[in-house]
Structure 1
């Protein structure tokens, strides 16, 4: 037998041995002999539905235990809303384990996405995150928005006011909206000091029950400009004074 024929015979023999193995690992044959019967989904999660995870995994386990592509399973589960991290492993003879971790949101982004505590933006179903503040600004400055919220929140919380919206313009100018609708223009430079100064004055500014601060421009060296809004009483008088209608005025206040 020539060397060429011996080589061909060896290749054929190797092929006859390897082909069934390749076929099994690709799910072409014998998938029903080693089926994947069990799926365990673990982890602390509240937003992700276990049934949704199973639907994402199911197409990848049809070929049996050996044919399961762990990377493909991981990618399918990671693409689900709220999923931050996924770990997948197989356990002989018929078990697939999927461990996942959810994003923990700290704010809603202006375009409908959510911002996680790690500063990552992720997709979420419409209406999710009710009660969280809204951040609006350049994506690459998300950490700064989180820091500003962390600074502003404790300034107004003792006054019974939540920080509803935090905005950062492309030019680096800050503005906020409080829970009662008050708009604050904090500007650039040292917005933290301006917000703290306004928060100290706010109890005095709220003493008149007939009006409230609608907007405050804090971009002044020694004070701020205020736009007032009249408050309509819950039980108005039958014949209110002629000059008692709703309106607004601007006033500059020194602090």
Structure 2
């Protein structure tokens, strides 16, 4: 019986020590005594409003220094538009620090997303619906391949004075692109870069006729087919008579 009483006494003593600690760590008490009153923000960013950061972090800062859930606070910040990644820390006695890395848009992806320079997909933020960005598309797991061929295509067409406006890979891995002169180019699935290079080599001769190429189909082993548009109207020449 005495042994049981001693065990109960020890358990009670441990509980009396542990419960205040648990209460503080869970924010039940102590939030007023150890409040987080300062927000310190790090990072070079232009599009994430400071008031939005404060609004996202305020529910967690209210718990106080010891009870703030840093991982939950970090996830709340990373849900904000334009935030690529965030890290939330605390510094004694009353500072909540957040480091933010912004998305830097590289291109449009599909109908309603953007692709960042870091290769991440994110929703189009308000105000960027009509920004002049190249249009890319493809399976979400193929962003690196799409960007690689886009960069290669631009380098190939640049000497001809033509730029790539849109490039897409469909679900079967077939490529197509649109040039800024209005030409639609169907590339196919295999040897996309070599087919584009072959087409670019003869493009200067094809454009000498001054008849616009509406569509080029490169899905052939040794050549391609072209669809021509309507030639521009001839300019009227006048002679001055003296």
Residue aligned with 2:229, SS: strand
Give the Cα separation in 2 of the matches to 1:179 and 1:48: 33
Structure 2 match to 1:249: none
Q: Structure 2 regions of 5+ residues with no counterpart?
A: 237-242
Helix, strand or coil: the match of 2:171? coil
2:229, 2:54 → 1: CA distance?
54
Residue-pair matches, total: 235
Tell me what 2:50 maps to.
50
TM-score, reference length from structure 1: 0.82
Shift of 1:194: 1.8
Show the counterpart of 1:17: 17
Where in structure 2 are the equivalents of 1:7-86 lying within 5 Å? 7-86=7-86
> What is the rounded CA distance, in whole Å, between the counterparts of 2:40 and 2:76 in structure 1?
16
Compute the TM-score of the two structures, normalised by the length of structure 2: 0.86
> In the alignment, which residue of structure 1 is the partner of 2:119?
119
Residue deviations 1:79-131, cap 9 Å, x none? Answer: 22232222221110000110121233332211422223343323332535822
Question: Match of 1:162?
Answer: 163
* Residue 108 (structure 2) pairs with residue 108 (structure 1): yes
- Give per-residue Cα distances to partners, 1:181-225, cap 9 Å, x unaligned: 21001113222122112223223333344x311111122344322
1:97 matched to 2:118? no
- How much has 1:147 moved relative to structure 2? 1.3
Q: Kindly report the root-mean-square deviation, in angstroms, between the aligned alpha carbons of the 2 structures.
A: 2.3
Helix, strand or coil at the partner of 2:53: helix
Unaligned regions of 5+ residues in structure 1, if any? 238-255
